[in-house]
Amino acid sequence: MRQPASNLLAALLLACLLAFSALPEAHAQSRTEEAKDRLDGRSDEPPVVRAARIFLHIGIDVMPTFFYFQPLHPDEPALSYNRYPYQNPYYSGIRNFQEESNRRGLWDVQATFSLPQTSWAMQQASAQVKRNIRYWSLIAGYEYLKEPGAPYPIHQSEFLFERKFRFLPQGDGGFQFGLRTLHLDGDVYAGPDLGVNLEIYPWRPFSLAYNASWTYTTYADVINQQLDLGIHVDATRFFFRYRWLDIGGVKFGTFTAGAGFYF
């Protein structure tokens, strides 16, 4: 009787060994590949949940654009720009409401690069060009993200308009809308993008900035967020940034550093 029992125990041990040996293979998929699955629609999220999220984001991101755009008084000067932050003692940000100022536009160019890599941090590089023209901005940007162990990177491109809204004299802000595209493993996913950008200049030479955007694609939402600590030296700035990226519930994050200039 002992022989069948020992055979059964050996069979159970072998089955457990095979099961555990299969676990690394089952979880070997990178987050980048999982994010691509979400973009391709391989997700169990009900359509009604997607629809509810769309309306929620539209309410949060679009409805405020009907407010905050009117002058505080009829004879208020039109928005113009300082050549760089902290140039003007009364308006330490880039915007300016002084009558004698006549700078109608401002270029803002920036680039970021990865900090020293760890097993957690992603490789990252990006470039963005922003043209401010009175109460509007035109934005074009590109970003490269590579997760350690992933077989391919994530490429993002953005083409946005920004509508400035009333904000602190020491700050800048606007609502953004346009198009964002993602490229993963040769496939392209595109959708409308809505977001908000806020930047505050609390004391020389520092600034704090927050940017968040939501992109709708056919099967998954894409949420980008970033928080910057900037250091300004005349028309040049250096900054440290923390980046969040959420693709259909698959989350990424990384620290980066960068530089930019105004002209």
Identify the residue with better confidence: 142 or 43. Answer: 142
| Average predicted confidence (pLDDT) for the chain | 80
pLDDT, one tens digit per residue, over 199-218 is 999 999 999 999 999 998 88
What does the H/E/C string look like for the chain? Answer: CHHHHHHHHHHHHHHHHHHHHHHHHHCCCCHHHHHHHHHCCCCCCCHHHHHHHHHHHHHHHCHHHHCCCCCCCCCCCCCEECCCCCCCCCCCCCEECCCCCCCCEEEEEEEEEECCCCCCCCEEEEEEEEEEECCEEEEEEEEEEECCCCCCCEEEEEEEEEEECCCCCCEEEEEEEEEEEEEECCEEEEEEEEEEEEEECCCCCEEEEEEEEEEECCCCEEEEEEEEEEEEECCEEEEEEEEEEEECCEEEEEEEEEEEEEC
Q: Is the pLDDT of residue 253 over 60?
A: yes
pLDDT, one tens digit per residue, over 145-191 is 998 888 999 999 999 999 988 777 788 889 899 999 999 988 999 99
Residues 6+ apart with CB under 8 A from 153: 32, 123, 144, 145, 146, 147
Identify the residue with better confidence: 124 or 62. Answer: 124
pLDDT score recorded for residue 24: 37
pLDDT score recorded for residue 75: 75
pLDDT score recorded for residue 90: 77
Tell me how far CA of residue 121 lies from CA of 80, 222, 226, 244, in angstroms. Answer: 39, 19, 15, 11
pLDDT, one tens digit per residue, over 101-143 is 668 899 999 999 987 765 556 889 999 999 999 889 999 999 9
The DSSP bridge partners found for residue 246 are 223, 251
Q: Is the pLDDT of residue 96 over 80?
A: yes
Residue 58's pLDDT band (cuts 50, 70, 90): low
Residue 19's pLDDT band (cuts 50, 70, 90): very low
Q: Is the pLDDT of residue 61 over 90?
A: no
Q: Is the pLDDT of residue 62 over 60?
A: no
All structural domains of the chain, each given as residue ranges with its CATH number in brackets, are 36-262 (2.40.160)
Cβ atoms of 145 and 180 within 8 Å: the answer is no
pLDDT score recorded for residue 2: 47
Residue 33's pLDDT band (cuts 50, 70, 90): confident
pLDDT score recorded for residue 209: 96
Identify the residue with better confidence: 102 or 256. Answer: 256
